[in-house]
Structure 1
Amino acid sequence: MKPLAFVLCLAALPCSASEDIADQYPASVLYSKPVEVIPGVFSAIGATAPPTYENAGHNNNLSFIVTSEGVVVINSGASYALAEALHAEIKAITDQPVKLVFNENGQGHAMLGNSYWATQGVDIVAHVDAAHEFEEYGDRSLQAAQNRVKEKADKTDVVAPTITFDDTYALTLGGVDIEARYLGPAHSPGDIVVWLPQKSLVISGDMAFHERMLPIFDHTMTADWITTWNDAFEPLQATYVIPGHGHPTNMDQVRRYTHDYLIYLRGKVGDHLDAGGDLAEAYYVDQSPYSHLDTFEELATKNAGRVYEQMEFE
């Protein structure tokens, strides 16, 4: 039997989130208590809002896989404190030790918690591009975290992954096959997904978003992201998806709010370019079908501007 929380998320009306809820788990620095998505796979769902002092910077999903031979963690979190809090939740569920931590990309909220896991002697794995990104911008991410969450960033430092890979890092633990895969360019340099083929579940990282608007950065090549999705992510045919942001769901939902949003926005900006429109007007192309998503107000105009700048030279 599937855990009730996930059954509800797969219903016709998906689990909703609200960026207006500052903290769903006051007993912990974590934004929410980990839920069992399917047997043996848990996720502490982050806020669908920008990182704040109130949510302690926990605005992405911190997941872990429990097996009979150990635990694998996906994302170290945005601070030493968040990683430590996640470990406390793991210890409350199982006596098995954490054997490995994956960083889904080089962003601070995926890697700054490495500073805790390093003290536990746990190997930390990331794609080579993510490791390079963190090496170059980790100090900036740390400073931003310290300014934002203040004492909640105590003990946090920039600690690089101990293992890097190019295409796939695979292991079998307690009979569970776990494959970290780099599928191609997507949201951030070195984005990976963690695929559990026996369970038809993918922990997608920032390949896929749900319930909140995705951000398009200067280095986010939207055409490449769509290609990677079509050629490598969609063919997984995952039954269950734990996205980088938002509640666990299915492929239909993350396709709607990731792939289809990118297609839609590029179409609107393309029409604007064909009509001779300039950058100033491009910020305000119609994105109303996605206005119900959290972070829409913060991101919609920025996304349109960045897509315009990309498509102007395609």
Structure 2
Amino acid sequence: MGVEDSRSFYGIDHYGFPRAGADDPVDPEGYYPPYFRSEHFQRYGYHVEELRGGFHWVTSAGYDAAFVVTEQGVVVIDAPPTLGENMLAAIEDVTDQPVTHVIYSHWHTDHIGAASVFGPDVEIVAHRITKELLERFPDPKRPVPTTTFDDELVLEVGGEILQLSYKGENHCPGNIFVYAPRQKVLTAVDIVSPGSVTFMHCDASQNISGWYEAQSQILAYDFDFFVGGHHMHYGTYEQVKLCVEYFADVLEGATAAVERFSRSDALADIVADTGWDRMFVGTENWINSMANHTTRHVLEKKTSDGRLWWERLAGATTQTKYHAYTVLESIRLERPRPDYRLRGENPPVFLT
């Protein structure tokens, strides 16, 4: 079956998602840093940079990780498969010290799926929940942690200190904060991505209320550098604040959308043309109406410096609709409802 045949067979021209293309604005100026076009990056596919005091950031320009060089060895934070053995190459670029510790930010394979490259003798540190999940769903490329904690753990190696904290489920259960106080570097993965709006559906996060709470928790730290797990950049405090501002606008728009389109009159207007025997079509139109309202609110709203979001953060025009859907669903599922139906009142609109 050829490409055109498969398009017709699967109904791509009618069902599913439209193809994004050249109609979307280009990414903001400065989103692609100088290393992205460097000879080294184009040839080897990774970039390593010292942020401060032996704390290094490593990126594949899609995923990133970090390591700290100490007097007694190297402490690695995460091991994305997109970096893979390039993590070893990046470490060898700056030190002859062996890797002694690996910290898992969380259990997802896209961030730690190459941890086996460090061999069987390293100490692997993670939250207790991460260990439980990896024992339940074993993967030889993600060795089970050897040291775990519940709330707080101070890891001291070769005179360097890393403060590990678990503040509750956010992106997923067991996702932790890693803070280097001397270097003022904070690592918190899959919460915000400096320079962009994160991948769709809020980085596929599981607890959106907790994920929003994590944004405030991030800003409570005293950091100069931020490692978020994705995209082209490490971040500064101000760049992280910009991402938080964007998602505040998403929440604002989604809250207004849920309130507006949950009224009986609005529901009746949306589903009026679908008929009682097309309930899922009516439901899709209802959800899409809320998502579209939210998306328009975000993308047409002037930001704090007067520009639009697509002029400040990469991905705004393609990803906002997915964030809108995810956030409005979290409002409906995780946050208090204004009221409930009284006995005998307000029959479902698809029956009227």
Q: TM-score range by the shorter chain?
A: 0.7 to 0.9
Q: Deviations over 1:161-200 (max 9, x none)?
A: 3332222222222221111222333223222121111222
Name the structure 2 match of 1:255.
241
1:190 to 160, 169, 174: 174
2:183 partner SS = coil
* Structure 2 unpaired stretches of 5+: 1-27, 263-285, 300-307, 336-352
Aligned pairs (5 A) from 1:2-13: none
- TM-score normalized with structure 2 length: 0.67
Q: Deviations over 1:100-150 (max 9, x none)?
A: 011111221212112222x252122222233344555676xxxxxxxxxxx
Q: Is the 8 A contact 1:107 1:134 kept in 2?
A: no
Give the letter for the 2:105 counterpart. Answer: E
* CA-CA distance at 1:158 after TM superposition: 4.5
Structure 2 residue 255 is matched with structure 1 residue 270:
yes
Name the structure 2 match of 1:127.
127
Q: Deviations over 1:263-292 (max 9, x none)?
A: 211110111112126311122222324334
Name the structure 1 match of 2:273.
none
* Structure 1 unpaired stretches of 5+: 1-12, 48-58, 140-155
- Whose Rg is larger? 2
Cα 1:33–1:228 change in 2 (3 A) is closer
Q: Is the 8 A contact 1:193 1:207 kept in 2?
A: no
Cα 1:253–1:67 change in 2 (3 A) is same
Q: Whole-Å Cα distance in 2 between the matches of residues 260 and 184 of structure 1?
A: 22
Q: Deviations over 1:11-68 (max 9, x none)?
A: xx996238xx79972332xx32211112311111232xxxxxxxxxxx2212111112
Q: Is the 8 A contact 2:225 2:236 kept in 1?
A: yes
Q: Deviations over 1:231-262 (max 9, x none)?
A: x33222212222222412211211211x2222
Identical residues among aligned pairs (%): 22
Name the structure 1 match of 2:55.
41
Cα 1:165–1:108 change in 2 (3 A) is same
Aligned pairs (5 A) from 1:1-314: 16-17=31-32, 25-28=41-44, 31-47=45-61, 59-78=62-81, 82-117=83-118, 119-134=119-134, 157-215=141-199, 216=202, 219-230=205-216, 232-245=217-230, 246-257=232-243, 259-276=244-261, 278-284=286-292, 285=294, 286=296, 287-288=298-299, 289-292=308-311, 293-313=313-333, 314=335
Cα 1:295–1:164 change in 2 (3 A) is farther
Q: Whole-Å Cα distance in 2 between the matches of residues 176 and 269 of structure 1?
A: 43
Q: Is the 8 A contact 2:171 2:206 kept in 1?
A: yes
* CA-CA distance at 1:208 after TM superposition: 3.1
1:34 partner SS = strand
Aligned length: 266
Q: Is the 8 A contact 1:14 1:249 kept in 2?
A: no
Q: Is the 8 A contact 2:125 2:148 kept in 1?
A: yes
- TM-score normalized with structure 1 length: 0.74
Q: Whole-Å Cα distance in 1 between the matches of residues 223 and 241 of structure 2?
A: 12
Q: Is the 8 A contact 2:205 2:211 kept in 1?
A: no
* CA-CA distance at 1:210 after TM superposition: 0.8
Moved more, 97-106 or 195-204: 195-204
Q: Deviations over 1:78-104 (max 9, x none)?
A: 26xx33221122123112111101111
Q: Whole-Å Cα distance in 2 between the matches of residues 15 and 104 of structure 1?
A: 28
Name the structure 2 match of 1:152.
none
Q: Deviations over 1:192-217 (max 9, x none)?
A: 12111122221222233212222426
Q: Is the 8 A contact 1:112 1:159 kept in 2?
A: no
Computed over aligned residues only, the root mean square deviation of the Cα atoms, in angstroms, reads: 2.8
